Amino acid sequence: MEDSFMHSMSHISKIPSGFLVRKVVGNKVHQKYFGHSSFAGEVEALSAAVAYRDHLLVQAAAVDVGRSPCEVSGVPGVTWFCHVNSHRPGVIVHHFRAEVIGPGGERIVRAWSVDTQGLWQAFKQAVTWQLMTAEGTQVSEPEVIRSFLAFMQHYLEQARREENPLLRGGMGRAVVDMIANADTPAAVFDVIDGQVAAD
């Protein structure tokens, strides 16, 4: 598997006679088959499937431009939310949500709370579930950690820029709790230290 699982077989399923690309862009499922016989072999079919998948990822990024910065996780199919509960002012909704399209075209959505599971565990579980459910891909922890480190740079930047004291405080508490948690990957501390030093 390549350095980042997001750029390897993400959204590509290997089947006996070729590869199937499946990706949701703007609430529409895009699916295309790349057969070995149509592309003069397995390597050429995979190359075409990767090119098509990359094209869909570019389209999806263009659709996502209108999203709040607090919805970006860095992993396709996984969204980060941190906002004030509109029904209960003073309460923060802070979670990761993973979404896949089921075999019948239905949306399957699950969420993991940062408050109950912690920042790292909620991210890890959302990413792992999304890839396993959408593609049957088992992702290694080092790959999840690399994606989490990239997300944490974004997260810390958003926390620093956040003007709402309730949200800023909630985001800060999540980082403090993560630092105190024994299962937090050691590499996360380097990212946090680097952001603190930059301030």
DSSP annotation string for 105-156 = S-EEEEEEEHHHH-HHHHHHHHHHHHHHHHH-PPPPHHHHHHHHHHHHHHHH
> What is d(CA 23, CA 100) in angstroms, rounded to the nearest whole number?
9
The pLDDT value recorded for residue 195 is 53
Inter-CA distances, 179 with 62, 68, 77, 119, 192, Å: 34, 26, 26, 10, 9
Low-confidence ranges of the chain (pLDDT < 50): 1-7, 64-70, 196-198
Q: What is the pLDDT of residue 71?
A: 60
Question: According to the model, what pLDDT value does residue 4 have?
Answer: 40
Q: Residues of the chain with pLDDT > 90: what percent?
A: 32
CA distance 182 to 34: 45
Burial of 66: CB neighbours in 10 Å, binned 0-12, 13-18, 19+: exposed
SS3 content of the chain, % helix, strand, coil (to 5): 50, 25, 25
The pLDDT, as a whole number, for residue 83 is 86
pLDDT at 44: 93
**Residue range 39-92, pLDDT digits in tens:** 989 999 998 998 888 777 766 655 544 444 446 777 888 889 888 887 887 888
In whole angstroms, give the CA distance from residue 44 to residue 112. 39
What pLDDT sits at residue 113? 95
Question: What is the per-residue pLDDT for 1?
Answer: 34
